């Protein structure tokens, strides 16, 4: 067995059941850490923060130093790809990301062949982080999936129901699919670059996959994800790929079977017994503690950790949250979580 497979998270992604399971947390580099807040204060805005390799590398490493997670995940944002496509992105304090709303009929205006020029600082972050990781720690790169990125572009920011984007997908299917292809192709280039800069695992976040009828799910979730993975593999990149179609519900099995992902991340609402019964045999699963249970701590947290560990026994499993860690989580609760997983008899 080569040295790379000795890393617990890579062992799981190769199909092995590891006890205790490897653990990392979505948004593990974030505002709940005082050291993160100090570094964040040095950047004039969030986009500059992501594009500053020295700062981004430091906050990527902070949770590894403090907690010893089994993986580091690149500090960046899913809305860097629209910048490479020629769109303006900014963040408003207290409101989140903002973009000038995009008309899907103008999809041919989206710029291609700018990925490396625009997003090369992200590769530099990876190059800084990887040599500083402990030998057993895996480096994860990531991108937003095309549907989730498209919703921000069309809506001009976050949206509760992505209604405008769904209307555009139904009303202008050829133009919408053309836009999705452009987003997918730039995303594939971005992920290939990340792998070549040291990412050992790649993750696709489809944060807004919920509530879609199956025909639309096939068009805007499965098809572009498959396009990305095919392009990544065609480039000779063979690292594992984790897909996270958050809120996919009964369509999780189709996603798992048809996209080409190595492993699937599931959200808080998924019943482990059901998903165990419908996933391909031996497919690794990542998830899916309720972030609210982590915030609560105490007996409730211990109980949920135990339940999930029992639920996934016998299947390759990466312990994580069903969504990102919230800024108000006490550091002591993260320490409690890790102790419960790692010290369980």
State the pLDDT at residue 20: 95
The catalytically annotated residue of 11, 32, 70, 77 is: 77
Q: Which domains does the chain have, with CATH numbers?
A: 4-342 (3.20.20.210)
Beta-strand ranges (E) seen in the chain are 71-73, 89-92, 96-99, 138-144, 201-206, 241-245, 263-265, 285-289, 317-321
Is the separation of the CB atoms in 204 and 246 below 8 Å? no
Q: Looking at residues 325-329, what average pLDDT do you find?
A: 97
For the cut 60, the answer to whether the pLDDT of residue 3 exceeds it is: no
The catalytically annotated residue of 31, 66, 196, 257 is: 31
The catalytically annotated residue of 32, 36, 152, 252 is: 152
State the pLDDT at residue 344: 78
306 is an active site residue: no
40 is an active site residue: yes
pLDDT in tens, 255-269: 999 999 999 999 999
77 is an active site residue: yes
The catalytically annotated residue of 40, 66, 196, 257 is: 40
Place 5 in a pLDDT band, splitting at 50, 70 and 90: low
Place 345 in a pLDDT band, splitting at 50, 70 and 90: low
pLDDT in tens, 204-261: 999 999 999 999 999 999 999 999 999 999 999 999 999 999 999 999 999 999 999 9
How many Cα atoms sit within 13 Å of 172 on the Cβ side? 14
State the pLDDT at residue 288: 94
The sheet that has 138-144: what strands, in order across it?
A: 71-73, 138-144, 201-206, 241-245, 263-265, 285-289, 317-321
Q: Looking at residues 87-103, what average pLDDT do you find?
A: 93
pLDDT in tens, 105-149: 999 999 999 999 999 999 999 999 999 999 999 999 999 999 999
């Amino acid at each position: 067995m080569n040295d790379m497979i000795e890393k617990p998270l890579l062992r799981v992604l190769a199909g092995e059941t590891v006890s205790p399971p490897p653990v990392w947390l979505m948004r593990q580099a974030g505002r709940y850490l005082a050291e993160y807040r100090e570094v964040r204060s040095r950047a004039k805005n969030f986009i500059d923060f992501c594009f500053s390799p020295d700062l981004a590398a430091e906050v990527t490493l902070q949770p590894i130093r403090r907690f010893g997670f089994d993986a580091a995940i690149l500090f960046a944002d899913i809305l860097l790809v629209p910048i490479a496509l020629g769109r303006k992105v900014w963040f408003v304090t207290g409101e989140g990301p903002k973009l000038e709303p995009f008309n899907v009929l103008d999809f041919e205006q989206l710029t291609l062949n700018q990925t490396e020029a625009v997003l090369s600082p992200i590769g530099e972050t990876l190059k800084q982080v990887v040599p500083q990781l402990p030998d057993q720690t895996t480096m994860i790169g990531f991108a937003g999936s095309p549907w989730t990125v498209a919703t921000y572009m069309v809506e001009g920011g976050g949206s509760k129901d992505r209604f405008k984007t769904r209307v555009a997908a139904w009303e202008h299917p050829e133009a919408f699919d053309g836009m999705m292809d452009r987003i997918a192709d730039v995303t594939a280039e971005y992920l290939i670059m990340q792998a070549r800069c040291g990412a050992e695992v790649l993750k696709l976040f489809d944060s807004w996959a919920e509530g879609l009828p199956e025909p639309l799910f096939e068009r805007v979730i499965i098809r572009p994800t498959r396009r990305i993975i095919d392009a990544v593999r065609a480039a000779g990149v063979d690292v594992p790929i984790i897909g996270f179609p958050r809120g996919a519900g009964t369509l999780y099995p189709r996603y798992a079977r048809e996209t080409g992902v190595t492993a699937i991340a599931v959200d808080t609402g998924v019943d482990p017994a059901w998903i165990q019964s419908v996933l391909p045999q031996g497919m690794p699963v990542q998830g899916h503690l309720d972030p609210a249970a982590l915030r609560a701590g105490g007996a409730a947290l211990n109980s949920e950790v135990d339940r999930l560990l029992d639920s996934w026994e016998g299947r390759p499993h990466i312990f994580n949250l069903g969504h990102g860690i919230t800024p108000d989580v006490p550091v002591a609760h993260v320490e409690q979580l890790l102790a419960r997983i790692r010290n369980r008899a």
